[in-house]
Amino acid sequence: MSSIFTEISKDSKSRARCGVMHLPHGDVQTPVFMPVGTNASVKAMTKDWLDEIGFEIILANTYHLYLRPGPDLLQEAGGLHGFSGWKKNFLTDSGGFQVFSLAPFRKITDEGVHFQSHIDGSRHMLTPENVVHFQSQFNSDIQMQLDVCTGYGTDYNGAKRALKITSDWAIRAKKAWQKEQNETSYLGKLFPIVQGNFYKDLRAQSAEFVANLDCPGIAIGGLSVGEPHEVYSEFLDYTAGLLPQDKPRYVMGIGTPDYILDAVYNGIDMFDCVLPTRNARNGSYFTRTGNLSIKKECYTHDYLPVDPECNCKVCKEYSRAYLRHLFKNNEILSSMLASYHNLYFLHNMMHEIRAAISNGTFCEYRENFLKRWNSKEGL
């Protein structure tokens, strides 16, 4: 299978690397943070703003899009790109995490997942095969296999059982994906998922199995599911070290600078999270010296930009006092400007990370960034 990934440069003191993913709707520079657009829309952001910042790929959610508006309508509209107007790449997750988080409403069997819609209570089933088909109807540039995600604290037997199902589903997903590729014009890439909870023997077993599937890329699942940060770091380091070098590696569900820097240090190429835009809607802004909560009284008469070192249009044009005023009055513009800023901040951080890797200074960059990030100076 031809590779979709080209490694450009590598850090000598860590696993950090720069590369390019070659996808149907354009190349993507890595490491890359992908904004989450659950319903084919990144909350409080226009597609033009995303393009203006410079994003090359965003994420959408299969579970939600399957329920509403439905894969047939999306296919009729020209897939996610035709429906939303976003002409660059889409990665779609499988719906597995939503099934994990909606535990009271689902039942997992070897065949698939039976669940009740959170919208109207109607009953549905996801299988590895129909999830591949739905994502093909979406025309996803990267699609994920259906998997079973287990939370922190799951016992060994439970984790082993979930891994067995995930592995069986990966085989079925690959077969269904190859059929879509052979019988239709679909060009999207399938990524299987490494699971195994927080048991190293299961992680090793899963990593070897997934590598042998020889799909275009590999995702690491089951991290950032409630575990302490040190456990996340340990298992990220362990799992990443087991993966092949010639494929892009994706860790799902991380979106704060400290977690991102850990991931890049361990050679991860892709990550996504709802946190930057969710925090934005709650008045939390990323700055070089940590999170700034705009709701605080101390910003009432503060006419400085949110982050004096940031060049985004929010920091150039609006003061902390005005942004606090918008937030306190529940103005829609508050969510829009905060979301723009937080996504700009992360995208700019990724640009700096790639430059540092290329220059051989990533470890110094990481140390200095985290020192300032944790200082809370001026907040």
By annotation, the residues acting in catalysis are 93, 272
What are the b/e assignments for 190-207, b being 16+ CB within 10 Å?
bbbbbbbbbbeebbbbbb
End-to-end CA distance of the chain: 51
- What is the greatest pairwise CA distance in the chain? 63
Q: How would DSSP label each residue in 134-169?
A: HHHHHT-SEEE-------TT--HHHHHHHHHHHHHH
With b meaning 16 or more CB within 10 Å and e meaning fewer, what string describes 157-183? eebbebbebbbebbebbbebbeebeee
CB 158 within 8 A of CB 108: no
Which of 121-129's residues contact partners 24+ apart within 8 Å by CB, and which partners? Answer: 124/66, 124/67, 126/63, 126/66, 126/94, 126/95, 126/99, 127/172, 128/169, 128/170, 128/172, 128/173, 128/176, 129/172, 129/173, 129/176
Per-residue DSSP letter, 77:
T
CB 236 within 8 Å of CB 220: yes
Evaluate the omega torsion of the peptide bond into residue 31 and state whether it is cis, within 30 degrees of 0: yes
The neighbouring-strand residues paired with 30 are 19
Nearest Cα to 263, choosing from 357, 127, 348, 187?
357
- Which amino acid belongs to residue 13? K
